[in-house]
Amino acid sequence: MKWDLESVSASLDRLIWGAPTEKRSRAEEWALKSVRLVIVLARDLTHGQLTLRAMGLVYTTLLAIVPLLAISFSVLKAFGVHNQVEPMLLGFLEPLGEKGVEITARILDFIENMNVGVLGSVGLALLLYTAVSLVHKVEEAFNYIWHVHRGRSIGERFSRYISALMVGPILIFAALGVTAGAMSLAIVREAMEIEAVGWLALQAGRLVPYVLLAAAFTFLYMFIPNIRVRIGPALIGGLIGGIAWQSAGWAFAQFAAASTRYAAIYSGFAILILFMLWLYLSWLILLFGSSVSFYVQWPEYVVKNGGEVRLSNRMSERLVLVIMSLIGRCHLEGRTPWTLDALSRQLRIPIRPVDNVLIALRECNILTTTGDEPPGWLPVRDLAQVSVKEVIDTVRTFGENEYLRPEALRGPESVERLLRRAEDAADTALRDTTIMDLAVESPETPMERAWLTS
Q: For residue 292, what pLDDT band results from cuts at 50, 70 and 90?
A: very high
Beta strand 376-379 pairing with 367-369: antiparallel
Mean pLDDT within 170-180? 49
> 202 pLDDT exceeds 80?
no
Report pLDDT for 454. 46
Query: Is the whole-model pTM more than 0.75?
Result: no
Highest mean pLDDT among 24-33, 155-164, 357-366: 357-366
Q: What are the structural domain ranges in the chain?
A: 50-180+209-301, 313-452
> 432 pLDDT exceeds 60?
yes
Alpha carbon 361 to chain centroid, angstroms: 25
| Residues 154, 113: Cα–Cα separation, whole Å | 32
| Residues 176, 169: Cα–Cα separation, whole Å | 11
Determine the longest span between alpha carbons in the chain, in angstroms.
95
Each residue of 247-289: pLDDT tens digit? Answer: 888 787 777 776 666 555 555 667 778 888 888 998 999 999 9
Report pLDDT for 268. 60
Mean of pLDDT over the chain: 76
Q: What is the b/e burial string over 206-239, where b = at least 16 CB atoms within 10 angstroms of the residue's CB?
A: eeeeeebbbebbbebbbebbbbebeeebbbbbbb
Q: For residue 367, what pLDDT band results from cuts at 50, 70 and 90?
A: very high
Alpha carbon 226 to chain centroid, angstroms: 8
Q: What does CATH list as the number for 313-452?
A: 1.10.10.10
> 451 pLDDT exceeds 50?
no
DSSP assignment of 195-233: HHHHHHHHHHHHHHHHHHHHHHHHHHHHHSSSS---HHH
Of 407 and 239, more confident: 239
Report pLDDT for 183. 46
Please, are residues 450 and 342 in contact by the beta-carbon 8 Å criterion?
no
Q: With the C-alpha atoms ordered 368, 371, 375, 376, is the resulting torsion angle positive or negative? A: negative
Question: Which region among 38-42, 50-54, 130-134, 153-157 has the lowest average model confidence (pLDDT)?
Answer: 153-157
Mean pLDDT within 220-233? 87
Of 131 and 347, more confident: 347
